[in-house]
Amino acid sequence: MSLPSTPSFRLDERRAFVPGGTRGIGLGCAVALAEAGAHVTVAARSAEGVETAVAALREAGHEAEGVALDVSDLAALDAFLDGRAPFDILCNSAGMARHGPSLETDPADFDAVVGLNLRAAYFMAQRVARRMEQGGAIIQISSQMGHVGGVDRAVYCATKHGVEGMTKAMAIEWGPQNIRVNTICPTFILTPLTQATFDDPVRRAWIDEKIKLPRVGEVEDIMGAVVFLASDAAAMITGTSLLVDGGWTAG
């Protein structure tokens, strides 16, 4: 009897681009991809943050470099990508939120959130995909809020629902080029950026009630998911969402 063999989760000799990869979920993604053997390039607006993240990755023995880059600036993004070897993996973790009641949404806040979470995510995927000569994997860090609604989160939900829709359309279009496009949809993940939300007793009670597992999410919960979707183990997976939400959307 000939037994099947599990496809590899290794990412050796692959090049990964991780915008938003200097802290929180994005840093976790960068570490996970590097641990699996990828050469990782992290990007963020803060040059200091990039330097710190790259130094830590290299100190841990990983191949890493970084760039200070505003990914919503398409001219700057093009200048960065032009002349470089194509990336095999895009894991886009760049994003923001400005929560508040929808009746009070300020147009400037709307434009800022949409500009980074949706517009930049769209054109970043487009530009990286154009250069993927041998196929590749595009992973958008979306959110469980791309599948449900939330109080004070109308703008954020709109952007993440948009990311889910564009991911499906891009997966259909780019499948013949062997480019896979998927999203990871985390629940609330405990990071320094979200600490204030977890410290609010009312919001913490809401989170604990919605998550069916007996704890909240941690960065490590996203790391295996990103390696899986980037690797040959997910070679037949495209146009879908991997929900890392502790059962939130199931309920």
What are the tens digits of pLDDT across the range 82-134?
Answer: 989 999 999 999 999 999 999 999 999 999 999 999 999 999 999 999 999 99
What is the number of other CB atoms lying within 10 angstroms of the CB of residue 209? 10
122 is catalytic: no
With CA atoms as reference, report the closest residue to 42 among 137, 122, 23, 135. Answer: 23
pLDDT-based confidence at residue 61 (cuts at 50, 70, 90)? very high
The contacts of residue 179 (CB under 8 Å, 6+ apart) are 129, 132, 135, 136, 137, 138
> What kind and span of H or E run contains 182?
strand 179-186
Query: Which pTM does this prediction carry?
Result: 0.96
Across the beta sheet with 39-44, the strand order is 64-68, 39-44, 15-19, 89-92, 136-141, 179-186, 241-244
Measure the CA–CA gap between 236 and 168, rounded to whole angstroms. Answer: 14
pLDDT-based confidence at residue 166 (cuts at 50, 70, 90)? very high
For the domain 15-189+218-244, what is the CATH code?
Answer: 3.40.50.720
pLDDT at 192 over 90: no
Instruction: Tell me the one-letter amino acid at 101.
Output: P
Catalytic residue among 80, 87, 156, 188: 156
Average pLDDT over residues 136-152: 96
pLDDT attached to residue 83: 83
pLDDT at 138 over 90: yes
